[in-house]
Amino acid sequence: MNFHDFLRIRTRRRFLDNVLGGLGSAALAHLLAVEGRSGAAATDPMGANPMAPRAPHFAPRAKNVIFLFMGGAPSQIDLFDPKPELHKWNGKPLPDSIAKSLRLAFIKPTAKVLASRRKFQPAGRCGTQLSEWLPHTAEIADDICLIRSMRGESVNHHPGQSLLMTGSPLLGRPTVGAWATYGLGSESRELPGFVVLKTGSSTQGSTGNWSNGFLPSSYQGVMFRSQGDAILHLSNPQGVSGAMQRRDLDVIRDLNQAHLERTGDREIASRIAAYELAYRMQAAAPGLIDISDEPERVREMYGLNDKATSEYGASCLLARRLVERGVRFVLNQHAQWDHHSNLDKGLSQKCRTTDKPVAALVKDLKQRGLLDETLVVWAGEFGRTSLSEWRNPSDPANIGRDHHADGFSLWVAGGGVKGGQVIGKTDELGVTVAENPVHIHDLQATLLHCLGLDHAKLTYRHMGRDFRLTDVGGRVVEEMLA
């Protein structure tokens, strides 16, 4: 809301409260709801618990989501989509008829082809071809559905990430985690319904990836840390006892409730719920972060004893502990897969860091009986081109790849998804989708479908029209479903 909107609504509130009394409050509540600012939730009439569990549209295949977001765009050419034909063109430019169709961020269509130096081998009983840099992912090949025909609309990071997370390249829309909790609420009373975990450092992957947008603030992602205090400043200051805090919260709750009943501004319900959730989290969060009760074999499986994998391994283990406790949506974001240069060194390091913990997460969920009800997504915002980007031609190791949004790869496991299969394919040179294209909106529609939500019916009225995650597109990819 901008400053002028604030003044307009504030002036209306004063007028309606002072002049029209209770009738004015009801009118204001209606105006706020029409503008999508009411914070109304599908709960009790006053929206006292915006995160209360709600019935899905139909029987769900999954209850929770763990979204493993690899920010910066991993190279599908070197990890998931082998292209032996590229070796015939290595070091040469593509034919003009093919090159002219490319959408590129930094290089020109005349750039030379860069064949992958990676060896691909069949994995699992399904025989899916995977890179040598993903030996642990190869161990779960029979559990994952690999999509090689993904399509987006932007070759720039922030619009690409916004499209993946919100369904629109424009910032300010609710993210998929916010939509999921808005539609279903949460089964956890002690923890937020939407939790964010971050590892790695980058200017990419901003708070827009877990924003509630114009949905009520209860549905915004809450960032947790995998070590120390789960949330900074969650603990009481020295000298403040639990009883003192409870008395203060009771007074604040009563004041907020009175204001809610007087004005009808349902965002106040979100505020009340946030205070109460924070109070309950003070007891629940420390036990969540304390992994001393995990057996050594689990710590070893996630790579917690290895410096290269310990940080990301801890975040993957924490993601499992969160869904065990009823958290609806976990965004586990790992930064800086943006390899315009030093591709071999940078990409191998990223795989070294994440491959083992990711496979451990899927295995761990499966052996605990949680994979059937937990949807695991591994994705970047787009992929990398089969052409080379060489920012320092004097250094052969400096070579990298540019952004590529037409024909990249990601995978999904668990939660009603049929594993051990590959959906779609790109052409022989990895330039475009050749079979069964899957748009970002199709992926989003399918994820919501697995949660028992119809993407076309999960809407929120804002600024005079109904919005949804999939905008005006999206289809459920039936081939993905078990």
Q: Where are the domains of the chain?
A: 35-480
Q: Each residue of 233-285: pLDDT tens digit?
A: 455 566 655 666 566 666 676 777 776 677 767 667 666 666 665 656 565 56
Residue scoring higher pLDDT (26 or 435): 435
pLDDT at res. 249: 62
The C-alpha atoms of residue 440 and residue 381 are separated, in whole angstroms, by 9
The C-alpha atoms of residue 394 and residue 478 are separated, in whole angstroms, by 49
Look at the block and give the residue holding tokens 């923890």. 191
pLDDT at res. 25: 38
pLDDT at res. 371: 98
pLDDT classification of 9: cutoffs 50, 70, 90:
very low
The C-alpha atoms of residue 401 and residue 340 are separated, in whole angstroms, by 5
Residue 344, both tokens? 């071999």
pLDDT at res. 304: 96
Q: Among 216, 213, 233, 232, which residue's Cα sits nearest to residue 224?
A: 232
Helix, strand or coil for residue 428? coil
Q: Each residue of 109-149: pLDDT tens digit?
A: 999 999 999 999 999 999 999 999 999 999 999 999 999 99
Query: With helix as H, strand as E and coil as C, how does 199-267 read?
Result: ECCCCCCCHHHHCCCCCCHHHCCEEECCCCCCCCCCCCCCCCCHHHHHHHHHHHHHHHHHHHHHHCCCH
Does the pLDDT at position 335 exceed 70?
A: yes
Residue 408, both tokens? 């990249």
The C-alpha atoms of residue 479 and residue 423 are separated, in whole angstroms, by 8
Domain 35-480 has CATH 1.10.287: no
The pLDDT of 333-348, averaged and rounded, is 96
Does the pLDDT at position 69 exceed 90?
A: yes
